C-alpha cells in the first residue's frame, strides 16, 4: 500500500477511535469553550469596558486641601486613564500627625490596597505662589512601573490645566537653578521662553482669526480622526481639554504647545472594519485561548502514538507492508483533522459570543489557522517522538504549553507590558508569540494574510513547524523504529 493511502487509512482509524470516546470528545470541546468564555468576560470587565487598556488606580492624600489642590484632584479625576481615590484625612489639617498618616499610606501599598499614593503637601499653594514647583510625593509599589508612566503623564497634563503654561517656565528656571546654573543665565532663558511664548501666542492668535473667518478649517492635529474612533473614554480626558484655537487664552496656547510635545499621541487610529464593540481583550482572549487549547488538543492526539506503543498495536502496524513514514504521517493527518475541527468550533463559538469579527476575512483566518494547526501538530508529534511514555509526554506538554502560552501572550497581551530586552527576545522565541501576532494582526489590526506583518509571523511559525517536524521524524526513527 502506498504511503499516503496508508497514512490516510490510519488517520481515519484514529479519528474513528477519537469520535467513539464521547467523554473525551465532549471535554475537548467544552473545556476550551469554557476557558474562552471565562477569559473573555474577565478580560472585558476587569479592564474597563470598551476602552481597551485597564484604568490605573491612583490614591491621593490631599494635605493642602486648598482650591488649587482640589482643582488638581479634579483634573486628575477627569483623566480617562485614571481611577482616582481620595484618601480620607483628619478634618483639622494643622493637628495631623504626619508620620502616622505617612505610615498609614505606606501600609495601604504594602497591603496591596493601593499601588500609587500621590501626596499633595500642605504648603502647596505657598510654593506655587513663590513660583516654585510644589514638591509632590508619590508612594508606589515598584512592581507597577508601567502604571506609573500613565500617572506621570496624567500628572503633567493636570498640572498644565491647573497651574497654566507659565508655571513651566518658572519650573524650568527653578530646576536649572537647582542643578547649578547661575541665576543670570536662568533669568535669560526665562525671558527667551517668555518671548517664545508670546511669539507662539501671536501665531495661535492669527490661526484663531483664520478659523473665525473660515470655520470649516479646524486647527490642531489632535482633533483629526483617522478612521473611526472607538477609544471611548480612554482618551476622553485629553480630548475633553481640546478646544478650537480661537478660544485659547494666553496660558492655554502654551499649554496646547506643551500637550503636543508630550509623548502621548492622542490621535485615534483604528482600522475601519473593526467591529465597534470589540475590545482588545476580547480579541486577545479568543485568540489566546484558542492558540493555547489547540496545543493541548494536538499534543494529546500526538501522544496516541505513545499509547499505540504501550498497548502493542504499533508492533502490529510495523509488521504490515507499509512504511514507517506512513505511520507517522497518518498520525499527523489525524492531528491536523482534529486541530482544524477544534479551531473551527472554537472560533465559531468565540464569534457568536464576542463578535470579534473572526470570519470577516475567511481566507486569512484559514491561512492562520492552518499554519497554527500544522505548527501545533508538529509540536505534538515531536513531543510524542521524544517521550518514553504517555504520562511523560503529557507532563512535558503541560509544562511547555503553559510556559509558551504565558510568554507568547496567550493569557495577557504582551503589548501592555514593558518587557526587558531579554524577556522580549524570549517571548519572540516562542511559536505561540507568532501565532498570537498573526491572529491579533487579523482581529485587531484587520490585516490580510499577505500583509508583511502576518507573513512574517507565518514564516516564523512555518520555521517552527519545519524544525519540529524534522525533529519528530528523527526521534521517531530512533525511538520507535526497528532496532
Please give the residue ranges that form the binding site for other proteins (CB under 8 A).
1, 6, 9-10, 13, 16-18, 20-21, 311-313, 315-323, 482-483
Q: What is the closest distance, in whole angstroms, from the C-beta atom of residue 144 to other proteins in the complex?
A: 52
Q: What is the closest distance, in whole angstroms, from the C-beta atom of residue 483 to other proteins in the complex?
A: 6
Nearer to other proteins, 9 or 70 (CB): 9
Q: Please answer whether residues 119 and 98 qualify as being in contact, where contact means their C-beta atoms are separated by less than 8 angstroms.
A: no
Nearer to other proteins, 9 or 37 (CB): 9
Q: What is the closest distance, in whole angstroms, from the C-beta atom of residue 307 to other proteins in the complex?
A: 10
Nearer to other proteins, 3 or 177 (CB): 3
Side-chain-side CA neighbours of residue 337 (13 Å):
17
d(CA 218, CA 99): 52
Q: What is the closest distance, in whole angstroms, from the C-beta atom of residue 30 to other proteins in the complex?
A: 20
Q: What is the closest distance, in whole angstroms, from the C-beta atom of residue 474 to other proteins in the complex?
A: 17
Place of cell 484632584: 73
Q: What is the closest distance, in whole angstroms, from the C-beta atom of residue 326 to other proteins in the complex?
A: 9
Q: What is the closest distance, in whole angstroms, from the C-beta atom of residue 311 to other proteins in the complex?
A: 7
Can you point out the beta strands (E) in 228-315?
269-270
Nearer to other proteins, 327 or 431 (CB): 327
Q: What is the closest distance, in whole angstroms, from the C-beta atom of residue 318 to other proteins in the complex?
A: 5
Q: What is the closest distance, in whole angstroms, from the C-beta atom of residue 13 to other proteins in the complex?
A: 5
Nearer to other proteins, 102 or 479 (CB): 479
311's CB contacts (< 8 A; 6+ apart) are none
Phi/psi at 116 (5° precision) = -140, 130
Which of 18, 60, 74 has its CA nearest to residue 342?
18
Nearer to other proteins, 113 or 311 (CB): 311
Q: Please answer whether residues 285 and 43 qualify as being in contact, where contact means their C-beta atoms are separated by less than 8 angstroms.
A: yes
Nearer to other proteins, 23 or 184 (CB): 23
Which of 282, 297, 289, 304 has its CA nearest to residue 377?
297
Phi/psi at 411 (5° precision) = -90, -50
Specify the DSSP element, H or E, that contains 432: helix 431-443
Nearer to other proteins, 92 or 482 (CB): 482
Pairing of strands 116-120, 137-140: antiparallel
Nearer to other proteins, 22 or 92 (CB): 22
Cα angle 168, 169, 170; round to 5: 90
d(CA 326, CA 10): 8
Side-chain-side CA neighbours of residue 275 (13 Å):
18
Which of 404, 411, 292 has its CA nearest to residue 40?
411
Tell me how many helices (H) and strands (E) the chain has.
19, 6
Amino acid at each position: 500500500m502506498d504511503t499516503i493511502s496508508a497514512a490516510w487509512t490510519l488517520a481515519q482509524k484514529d479519528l474513528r477511535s477519537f469520535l467513539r470516546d464521547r467523554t473525551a470528545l465532549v471535554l475537548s470541546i467544552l473545556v476550551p469553550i469554557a476557558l474562552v468564555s471565562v477569559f473573555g468576560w474577565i478580560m472585558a470587565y476587569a479592564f474597563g469596558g470598551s476602552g481597551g487598556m485597564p484604568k490605573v488606580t491612583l490614591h491621593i492624600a490631599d494635605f493642602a486641601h486648598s482650591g488649587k489642590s482640589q482643582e488638581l484632584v479634579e483634573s486628575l479625576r477627569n483623566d480617562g486613564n485614571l481611577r482616582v481615590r481620595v484618601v480620607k484625612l483628619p478634618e483639622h489639617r494643622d493637628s495631623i500627625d504626619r508620620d502616622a498618616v505617612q505610615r498609614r499610606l505606606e501600609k495601604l501599598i504594602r497591603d496591596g490596597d493601593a499601588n500609587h499614593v500621590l501626596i499633595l503637601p500642605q504648603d502647596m499653594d505657598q510654593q506655587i505662589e513663590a513660583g516654585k514647583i510644589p514638591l509632590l510625593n508619590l508612594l508606589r509599589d515598584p512592581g507597577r512601573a508601567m502604571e506609573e508612566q500613565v500617572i506621570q503623564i496624567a500628572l503633567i497634563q493636570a498640572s498644565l490645566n491647573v497651574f497654566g503654561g507659565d508655571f513651566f517656565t518658572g519650573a524650568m528656571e527653578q530646576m536649572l537653578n537647582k542643578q547649578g546654573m547661575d541665576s543670570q543665565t536662568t533669568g535669560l532663558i526665562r525671558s527667551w521662553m517668555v518671548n517664545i511664548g508670546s511669539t507662539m501666542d501671536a501665531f495661535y492668535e492669527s490661526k484663531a482669526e483664520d478659523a473665525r473667518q473660515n470655520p470649516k478649517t479646524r486647527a490642531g492635529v489632535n482633533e483629526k480622526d483617522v478612521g473611526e474612533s472607538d477609544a471611548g473614554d480612554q482618551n476622553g480626558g485629553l480630548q475633553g481639554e481640546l478646544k478650537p484655537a480661537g478660544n485659547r487664552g494666553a496660558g492655554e496656547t502654551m499649554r496646547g504647545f506643551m500637550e503636543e510635545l508630550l509623548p502621548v499621541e492622542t490621535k485615534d487610529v483604528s482600522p475601519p472594519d473593526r467591529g465597534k464593540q470589540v475590545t482588545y481583550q476580547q480579541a486577545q482572549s479568543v485568540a489566546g485561548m484558542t492558540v493555547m487549547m489547540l496545543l493541548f488538543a494536538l499534543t494529546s492526539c500526538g501522544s496516541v502514538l505513545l499509547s499505540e506503543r504501550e498497548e502493542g498495536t504499533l508492533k502490529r502496524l510495523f509488521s504490515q507492508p507499509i512504511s514507517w513514514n506512513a505511520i507517522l504521517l497518518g498520525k499527523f493527518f489525524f492531528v491536523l483533522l482534529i486541530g482544524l475541527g477544534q479551531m473551527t468550533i472554537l472560533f465559531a463559538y468565540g464569534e457568536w459570543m464576542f463578535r470579534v469579527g473572526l470570519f470577516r476575512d475567511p481566507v486569512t483566518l484559514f491561512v492562520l489557522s492552518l499554519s497554527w494547526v500544522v505548527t501545533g501538530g508538529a509540536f505534538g508529534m515531536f513531543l510524542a517522538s521524544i517521550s518514553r511514555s504517555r504520562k511523560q509526554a503529557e507532563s512535558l506538554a503541560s509544562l511547555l504549553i503553559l510556559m509558551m502560552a504565558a510568554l507568547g501572550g496567550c493569557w495577557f497581551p504582551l503589548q501592555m507590558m514593558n518587557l526587558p530586552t531579554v524577556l522580549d527576545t524570549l517571548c519572540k522565541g516562542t511559536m505561540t508569540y507568532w501565532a498570537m501576532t498573526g491572529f491579533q494582526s487579523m482581529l485587531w489590526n484587520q490585516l490580510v494574510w499577505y500583509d508583511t506583518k502576518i507573513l512574517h509571523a507565518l514564516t516564523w511559525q512555518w520555521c517552527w513547524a519545519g524544525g519540529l517536524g524534522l525533529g519528530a521524524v528523527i526521534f521517531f526513527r530512533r525511538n520507535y523504529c526497528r532496532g
